[in-house]
Amino acid sequence: MTNLTHVVKRSGAVVKFKKERISNAIFRAAVAVGGRDKKAADKLADEVVERLSKEYSEKNYPHIENIQDIVEKVLIKNGHSQVAKAYILYRNSNIERRKKKIQKASVPSTSIPWPKIWKILDWSIRHDLHNIESINKRVEKGEFPHIVHESENAYADEVGMAAELISNRIDKLKMVLITGPSSSGKTTTTIKLEQHLNKAGFQFKMFAVDNYFYDLAMHPKDEFGDYDFETPQALDLQLINDHIMRLCHGEEVSIPYYDFKTGLRHPNSTKMILKNNEILLIDSLHGLYPEMTKSIQDEAKFKIYLEPLFQITDNSGKYLRWTDFRLIRRMLRDSIQRAYNPTQTLEHWHYVRASEVRHIIPYLHTADYIINSAMPYELPIYKARLGEDFIKWQKVYQHNKLKEDAAIRAERINSFMQQIKGYNDESAIPKDSVIREFIAGSIHNY
């Protein structure tokens, strides 16, 4: 038992003390260096709590920095120098990220695809879809079906261009990777790309990395104790590399099967081999992450990055954030496909975004081609579906110190959502649209 009851966060907010957060942080650091011993992490957390109990009391709350200092000392004292290093690096990366956010560094990031953004902005202006006001006016004039047609054509052109670029390099390729952050539309885009390439006479074989998740008991957790499926460390990267290397050399491998209901991976489930005219097709969050496919040379890979790169401003001239639209997409998809309450998705988006910033965005510049999956007609559809809910969610979270991230996102989305004119009739949206991946009604099976 401990006499500690609360902790002071960096923001100054006082929240309840939970030993589980210390244990999870230690385990995540261990996972980063190849460790998977949860019991050892729990034991080390006990020692941290014991030290904290001697230095702090019910009336003298420790600051989060004090706790992290002690964690580092306990790890080093017990001979876990590599884990301590990973923990320190993770801690320092958080500090640097906060500094950059505060300072709003003026140096443009290399992870921002400026040429692509200018092209999308030009398209948006030419089609009068560059701000909420112009979209509202077009919808009010009865042009929603036309907006759908224009948006879908632009997306189809991008998929077609990706297929052409792949065709030009097909003789040297061993795999095509379709990657991007959560709810970018990777699954639908993969299906459409495969259709293009099949017509051109090329054959692809899907390699599902989701089958390579570690057993749930070995999964890292986020700071709130939720299992984190977003980090690449949740995947058995060593086994993935072994299998794709052997497949590319013409060998047969036994693909495992991961059961999400039980949280267990079953080995040697399906035999797989590549024929001479077949290329691996991988749809994964972490396709750009170097460790994912390090066993294959870069010239043998074609990497596609996918994201809804909206170039739309609100009524005050502020550009809407891509991550907010992906959050809305995932809220809708999770509620339909997984029976999640949308607030569950909203509350957990913080670690989805954190993993993207660490493991996806930094490698965007290594992509061979970028596809924009944004559809301007999404705005009126989402307003009709969730507009009233965001009014409620903003009120629910605004004074909840434990859900600060959810509060910020709910307020920001509600701010622009209330400027949009809702539209209920979704019949103009094609049944094979990438948006059907999130709102249902697709001819594709997900």
346, 431: one domain? yes
Task: Tell me what pLDDT residue 107 has.
Answer: 39
Task: Tell me what pLDDT residue 108 has.
Answer: 42
Q: What is the CATH number of the domain that holds 385?
A: 3.40.50.300
Question: Do the domain assignments include residue 365?
Answer: yes
Task: Tell me what pLDDT residue 98 has.
Answer: 52
175, 303: one domain? yes
Judge contact between 229 and 219, C-beta under 8 A: yes
Last residue of a domain, one of 45, 72, 103: 103
80, 135: one domain? no
The rounded radius of gyration (Å) of the Cα atoms in the chain is 23
140, 266: one domain? yes
**Residue in this structure with the two tokens 């200092």, named with its chain if needed:** 69
Task: Tell me what pLDDT residue 106 has.
Answer: 35
132, 96: one domain? no
Q: How far, in whole angstroms, is CA 208 from its chain's centroid?
A: 17
Q: Which pTM value belongs to this model?
A: 0.78
Task: Tell me what pLDDT residue 218 has.
Answer: 82
49, 139: one domain? no
CB within 8 Å of 243: residues ≥ 6 apart = 207, 253, 255
Judge contact between 211 and 256, C-beta under 8 A: yes
3-class SS string, 74-85: HHHHCCCHHHHH
Question: Do the domain assignments include residue 445?
Answer: no
Question: What tens digit of pLDDT does each residue of 119-178 get?
Answer: 999 999 999 999 999 999 999 999 999 999 999 999 999 999 999 999 999 889 999 999
Task: Tell me what pLDDT residue 105 has.
Answer: 36
Task: Tell me what pLDDT residue 323 has.
Answer: 97
Number of domains in the chain: 2
33, 142: one domain? no
Question: Do the domain assignments include residue 446?
Answer: no
187, 215: one domain? yes
Token pair recorded at residue 26: 């230690």
Question: Do the domain assignments include residue 1?
Answer: no
Amino acid at the residue 278: E
Amino acid at the residue 411: E
225, 305: one domain? yes
Residues of the chain with pLDDT under 70: 1-2, 10-13, 91, 93-111, 220-226
Residue 58 belongs to domain spanning: 6-103
Last residue of a domain, one of 47, 82, 103: 103
Task: Tell me what pLDDT residue 212 has.
Answer: 95
HSE (side-chain half, CA atoms, 13 Å) at 419: 17
38, 74: one domain? yes
Question: Do the domain assignments include residue 372?
Answer: yes
397, 319: one domain? yes
Question: Do the domain assignments include residue 150?
Answer: yes
Question: Do the domain assignments include residue 119?
Answer: yes
148, 278: one domain? yes
Question: Do the domain assignments include residue 33?
Answer: yes
Task: Tell me what pLDDT residue 103 has.
Answer: 47
Task: Tell me what pLDDT residue 53 has.
Answer: 84
Last residue of a domain, one of 76, 103, 130: 103
Task: Tell me what pLDDT residue 94 has.
Answer: 62
d(CA 46, CA 52): 10
Task: Tell me what pLDDT residue 113 has.
Answer: 87
